[in-house]
Amino acid sequence: MCDFNKIGRELDRMLRVRTTPLGLKYFEDETKIPEDFQKIDQQITVCQLMGMARYHESGFFTTAELATACAGGGALQGFFEVPSDIADGTRCATWFAKDVESTKKIFAGRSFIEQGKFKALGAAPLDSISIKPDVVQIFGNPHQMLSLVYANIWDGGENVTLSTNGHGGCCYEVLVIPYLTGKVTMALTDIGERRYAMAADDEMIMGIPIDELERIYQNLKDAHKAVYKYPLKYNLPALPQPALNFLSKK
């Protein structure tokens, strides 16, 4: 059986990420959530759940009734129906885009988890999560993401997809999509994650379906033995002559 905690520790060590990788878990029954997941007992956004788990380094969960601070994010999880004024673009027109038709396109064509299937969503550091997650998310800078892309293609894997309109990074592009498709995906941290969940300016996210985690981990180890180790072993040029002259006078 895959040792998720060990892999979490090893990914943290090899990638040197700012915050440890997360395990995300959907729950059909709130009463079955492990005791080490703390309920965030107030209205929140889905991205705030990830932010809490990242920066407090503990397990947290939210429910369908509470993940309502961002109606789009909660609806994508199948927690409730998409509000009609979000679906038709009227609620966020001139805020997310210049007019109703432009705003409507933001949610058009998106894949949603079956409504009512899950009652809660939990997030916890992968190195200590007490239950098998559904998706793993790793926040990192572009170079760290590149290391993960190389790990994915090391054994002939497909190109990693990054397709975005700037909305729904951690709640959709690297959570719902990898959960539904079983494919590794990548996202930019979006405006919500930056405003409400402490995503840094340079951060991107990779979403790894749990069935792909061990492959990515093993490939990352092998790729690091080749030319892909993070940080890179730079080929240092010779020091310029003025610097050599300066040092020789010390």
Give the model confidence (pLDDT) of 132-188 as tens digits: 999 999 999 999 999 999 999 999 999 999 999 999 999 999 999 999 999 999 999
Q: What number of other Cβ atoms are within 10 A of residue 236's Cβ?
A: 6
* pLDDT of residue 6 exceeding 90: yes
* pLDDT of residue 244 exceeding 80: no
Q: Is 117 buried (19+), middle (13-18) or exposed (0-12) by CB count in 10 A?
A: exposed
**58-62: average pLDDT:** 98
What was the pLDDT predicted at 245?
A: 67
Is cis: bond before 231, omega within 30 of 0? yes
Q: Which residue carries 């007490």 as its tokens?
A: 130
pTM higher than 0.75, yes or no?
A: yes
Ranges of H-type helices in the chain: 4-15, 46-56, 71-76, 84-87, 100-104, 142-153, 176-181, 191-196, 210-224, 241-248
C-beta of residue 59 within 8 angstroms of C-beta of residue 49 = no
* pLDDT of residue 1 exceeding 80: no
The two three-digit tokens of residue 216, written as one number:
């990515």
